[in-house]
Amino acid sequence: MTIKTSAARPGMYVHAVEGGWMASPFWRKHLVLASARDVAKLVEAGIGEIVIDTDKGVGPLAPASAPLSVAAAVETAAPAVTSTAPPPRTRRRAASELDRARAVVEQSRAAMLRMFADARMGHAIDHRALAPLVDSITEFVARDQRALLTVTRLRSKDEYTWLHSVAVGALLIGFARHLGLPEDEASDLGLAGLLHDIGKMAVPSAVLEKTGSLDPAELAVVRHHPEKGHALLLGGDVPEVVRDVCLHHHERVDGRGYPFGLAGDRLSLAARMSAVCDVYDAVTSLRPYKRPWAPGDALARMQSWHGHFDQELLGAFIDHIGIHPPGALVRLRSNRLALVLGTGADDPTAPPVRAFFDIPTQSRLPLTEVATDATGDPILGGERGAYWFGLAWDRMRTAVLTANGTDAAPSPRAVGA
């Protein structure tokens, strides 16, 4: 489909541009417009028309004939989403949001475990039973995504599979809104996140929960879970995007993923988005066979995996999550350690944090919420919790995020190390 550049919006898959690739402001011939800034680049380059593929991305909202200024393109390409940048919160309000997040997670427990039980029995999946849960997650993401993601991080190894699905659903809804996708598409992507790993119910528990490396036969079984899940979702009125994400969330843009080894141009926007959200939640979570990475470390490593993700989409995801994502451990200029509580509304480098440990004295501090902008206590960089607190880190992190005290003793470290 050929459209005026003035009708472009984030989430569109650009197949070609007017004047050919040499006229494009992007180095790739085909790409997803991952943000309003990408749309503005097309306008700045003087591209009058683009060819989009609506099978791989979103379509136009409405035809537009008059060219837009760069400022207008940015304004119209990213419709405002209410409540994505809530005002600063008191500790009491933060605690109440965490309580509400726990209620949503508890609601998800029964629904997801029931769905997984049906899948283990080979029963058809009734996705409509998850509609109330999708609505709850969608509503909560609009109000305070960080609280919901914080609670899903506080999981045990045994809870990993179903809570991972809830977290990926929440991440996809938030990511879709960041890209300016319509609410119905964001809701379908949330459902896709909840069901993306439904095929793992066909994998023996001994394999899923194995703490060591998988042998070739076990790895082959695991790599069939996207197809197993897709088969469970066939029939009925399951949205196509849900089947797409289930089948393709382990594919890579360089064609080295599974189960089919599809290359970038053959992967939909939803599949590329889900690959990013799935990996990000997996590597930042406690799994039976691996300890979690710090959120900042995870994003940095994901950026280094050339060929794994759509780089434009990964960049947009990082913009959405923030340079210092919620839950990250950071060192402040005052030489205090703190946990990131959310994203900076005006400055992604200055999120709100909760300080809890003094490095020079190697001692715990009263939990204190701190501003990290230039007038407060700026962040110097990320830190590794396991380095400072050893095996006590997971317990201490949970206590700090939930605003409880902790008796965990830190590992002795050199001052300023």
In tens, the pLDDT along 218-269 reads 999 999 999 999 998 887 788 999 999 999 999 999 999 999 999 988 999 9
The segment(s) of the chain belonging to CATH 1.10.3210.10 are 91-321
Q: CA-CA distance, 222 to 218, in Å (whole number)?
A: 6
Any idea which fold 91-321 has? Hypothetical protein af1432 (1.10.3210)
Specify the pTM: 0.62
Rounded to the nearest 10 degrees, what angle do helices 240-248 and 269-283 cross at? Answer: 50
Res 146 pLDDT > 50: yes
Q: Which of 192, 144, 194 is nearest to 165 (CA)?
A: 194
Whose tokens are 């050199």? That residue is 414
Q: How far is CA 254 from CA 188, 250, 313, 352, in A?
A: 26, 12, 15, 37
Residues 245-254: tens digit of each pLDDT = 999 999 999 9
- DSSP class per residue in 189-204: HHHHHHHTTGGGGGS-
pLDDT at 74: 33
pLDDT tops 70 at residue 209: yes
pLDDT of 111 = 79
Q: What is the predicted pLDDT for the residue at 29?
A: 64
Give the pLDDT score at 24: 75
pLDDT tier for residue 153 given thresholds of 50, 70 and 90? low
- Which of 48-57, 127-136, 263-272, 337-346 ranks highest by mean pLDDT? 263-272
Stretch among 35-39, 120-124, 200-204, 387-391 having the lowest mean pLDDT: 120-124
Q: What angle do CA 349, 324, 98 make, to 5 degrees?
A: 115
Residues with Cβ within 8 Å of 38's Cβ and at least 6 positions away in sequence, in order, are: 10, 26, 31, 312
Q: Are 111 and 147 in contact (CB under 8 A)?
A: no
CB 351 within 8 A of CB 376: no
Q: How many CB atoms lie within 10 A of CB 199?
A: 23
- 233 contact partners, CB below 8 Å, separation of at least 6: 125, 127, 195, 198, 242, 243, 246
Query: What H or E segment, with its residue span, contains residue 278?
Result: helix 269-283
Separation of alpha carbons 48 and 58, rounded Å:
19
Does the structure show a pLDDT above 70 at 82?
no
Task: Find the distance separating the first CA and the last CA of the chain, reported in whole Å.
Answer: 57
Lowest-confidence range among 118-132, 344-358, 359-373?
118-132
Q: Using CA atoms, how far apart are residues 395 and 159, in angstroms rounded to an integer?
A: 16
Q: How far is CA 252 from CA 36, 262, 319, in A?
A: 24, 7, 21
Which 8-state DSSP code applies to residue 159? G
77: enclosing H helix or E strand = helix 70-77
Q: Provide the strand spans (E) within 49-150.
A: 49-52
Distances (CA, A) of 141 to 101, 132, 190, 247, 338: 10, 14, 10, 25, 24
